[in-house]
Every structure is written in C-alpha cells, then in structure tokens.
Structure 1
C-alpha cells in the first residue's frame, strides 16, 4: 500500500486522542429543500495520532466496480464496520457515542455503522453522489463524517447540478449532513493535480443507510 507522506499539523500536537464538546460548538448551515450541514472544526484532539493509528492498523482493502460498461479500480482504499462490530480504535467508539448523545433525539435513532476511506494522495477521490442506498434514498437521515489527515475539499451541490459549496476538511474536523441532504444534494471529494498528503474519512451512519 503506497501512501503519500503525511505532514502533521502544528496545531495538533496532543499525545492523547479525545473528542471535544458538541453542544454550543456546532455551527449549522441551512441549505435548500430541507437539507442542512453541521460543522465542528478540530473536533478531535490528537487527530494526527489517530490518523496514523488508523492508517497503519486498519485492514484496508482495494475494490473494483462496474462503471460505464467496464470494471474500474475504486480510487481510494476502504474498510467497513457494521452494526455490532468492534471499531478499529477506541477513539472512534468515543466519537460515535458523542454523536449519539448530540443527535439521537433529532435523528430518532443511533449511528450504528462506520465506513472508512483512505485517500492515499491527490489521485484518490470520490465522484458526485448521495448516500441513497437503503433508507437514505427515500427518508431524511444523517451522515456524520470525521476527517483526519491532510485537508481536502468536500464539495456539496444540489442534486442535478448547480453552484457547489466547498468545505476544506482535515485534522479532526467534523461535518454532519442532515435532513434531506442525501436525497436532494450530492457531495464529492475531487482529484487534485497539486501534491497533497493522505486523508482518512470516517462516515458514521444509521441502520440501512449507505
């Protein structure tokens, strides 16, 4: 597994890994059609240490998928932890518990799965999409994403096209996409022609949302 060199942040030199508070620290941005996003910069203290533990300890796998009548490599490495499976680091369990405490009443249920993506360098990406497999395609839901490692832009735009919003996320930032966001908006992490270091995103989802 070849991964670009990782440059730790000078602002995140904590030896231990902890999640910060959410109450009073989250900023909500209301979008169109009942969608919204919550942002909590630098939510994970010691995020760079967590990045290195996950990069080195998760059993990453490469996948191939059918696309446009041919089979292509998925441009990132993946790992998935279903409901009831132990997460690969206790810090992720702490993050999920904190998200449940903050959002369970609004969501009406808990986050039960965790999908991890490792973007090795600027050539790795994810195309425009919404998490519409399962209930996400027909019901309001939430997807909470913790981003570790080097910052990359996460883009959001209305489904069907339109001007995109840009969120530069990395080093422990949290973004929560809620309401109708998965049905009425798309998101993407574009390729980068400039040299960028590796990035891990951790996506916490409720049951039957992919």
Structure 2
C-alpha cells in the first residue's frame, strides 16, 4: 500500500520564504495496525522547508558509520547526527517542532520528546534496512517515535516483525509520521533505495530511553 503524501503539493512557498509550522490538532490521520500498533500522518505539517534543509545540510556535523556484516565492515549508506536530551539543536525551528509534538502527545507520552536524531540520504542509493528503534529501560512499555521528512520524497516502509506484507508511506518535504503503540516492539521500518531520488533528510524525535 502507498500513502500519497507528495513533495511540493504541500510545500509550496518558494526558496527564501520563512518556514511555517501548521496545526496538529484536527489535521492528523491515524492508521491502526495489528498488535496494538498505530501510525499518525500529518501531511504538510511544515511548509517553506527549502532553506531549512539547506541550512541543516551545511551546518550539521554529519558522520558516517560502519557496521559489521559477515566477515567485513561496510559503510552504512546514509549520514547521521544525534542530539541527546539537553543538547542544543542545530536550528531553533527543530526545538519548536519538538515542543509542539510534546504538547500534542502529552496525554499519551507524559515524558515528552527529548532527543533528536538526523539522517541524511544523499541520493536514492542511500537507505536503511529493516529495524525497530531500540528501547532502553522500560522496554516493556509502548512508546512513540516522530519523524519529520525534509527534501525529496522517499518511501518509509513498515512490516510486522518476523515477516509479512509491508506498508509503504511516501513522505514529502515537511510531512510528519509518528509511530506509536507497540510499533517499535512488533513492527520494523525501513527506507528502501530509490534510484534517481534527490537528497532527503529525516528528523526523528524520541522520548527518554529510546535510541
């Protein structure tokens, strides 16, 4: 299945326009998944994203990671940066987004969102394999992970842990996707390769103890 959230339809302001954060209340669509998991979608939550993308691409201290695979160590096909609780975020707008998410989801997530992770997919050859975000202390509890997409549209896919049919959500620039309920325990997510795609960035906001 593909959810048609497309770049540029919602992000209409020209380069140089100030970014605008739109309301969450009344604009989120929730999709309930098996095993008490769910996904919230808010297309076009942030508009006027071009300058924000450029600023983050230039100013964030991106790092390349390597992972052990079989008998060799291979590069992870994306760049990453992390901002733990209490760290200064690379743009004040990210703090605004985190505060708005915390306020909106406070009844479900009293501890709020505290950390931010950024991933840069330099082109369609960059990707991330199936995984679930690791939960530290309190792993028995359900939690939330919020993702804001910037730049070129890319698919975020979800499938039940252990295998099964995948759902595909196409996220454009400024779109919000929130994984909640048991999603991190019972589902995996991935960003598959997309030949010919342009640069894309994701900003993930997480509560305490979620990595």
Q: TM-score, normalised by structure 2?
A: 0.91
- 1:112-168: CA deviations, max 9, x gaps? 100000000111000000012424753200000000000010001111111111100
1:37 is aligned to 2:36: no
Q: 1:65 to 1:136 in 2, by over 3 A?
A: farther
Paired residues, what number? 202
Q: Using the alignment, how far apart are the partners of 2:36 and 2:85 within structure 1? A: 28
Q: Using the alignment, how far apart are the partners of 1:178 and 1:19 within structure 2? A: 22
Q: Which moved more, 1:129-138 or 1:155-164?
A: 129-138
Matches for 1:68-79 after TM superposition, within 5 Å:
68-79=70-81
Q: Which moved more, 1:45-54 or 1:166-175?
A: 45-54
State the partner residue of 1:49.
Answer: 51
Q: Using the alignment, how far apart are the partners of 1:64 and 1:36 within structure 2? A: 31
Q: CA deviation at 1:69?
A: 3.6
Q: CA deviation at 1:9?
A: 3.4
Q: Using the alignment, how far apart are the partners of 1:19 and 1:106 within structure 2? A: 22
Q: Using the alignment, how far apart are the partners of 1:190 and 1:119 within structure 2? A: 11
Q: CA deviation at 1:70?
A: 2.2
Secondary structure at the aligned position of 2:40 is classed as: strand
State the partner residue of 1:26.
Answer: 28
Q: Which has the higher helix share?
A: 1
1:195 is aligned to 2:196: yes
Structure 2 residues without counterparts, runs of 5 or longer: 1-6
Q: Using the alignment, how far apart are the partners of 1:43 and 1:158 within structure 2? A: 27
Q: Which moved more, 1:126-135 or 1:138-147?
A: 126-135
Q: Using the alignment, how far apart are the partners of 2:138 and 2:50 within structure 1? A: 31
State the partner residue of 2:113.
Answer: 111
1:171 is aligned to 2:173: yes
RMSD: 1.5
Q: CA deviation at 1:57?
A: 1.4
Residue from 124, 147, 150 that aligns with 2:149: 147
Instruction: Report runs of 4+ in structure 1 exceeding 6 Å deviation.
Output: none
Q: Using the alignment, how far apart are the partners of 2:22 and 2:37 within structure 1? A: 25
State the partner residue of 2:184.
Answer: 182
State the partner residue of 1:9.
Answer: 8
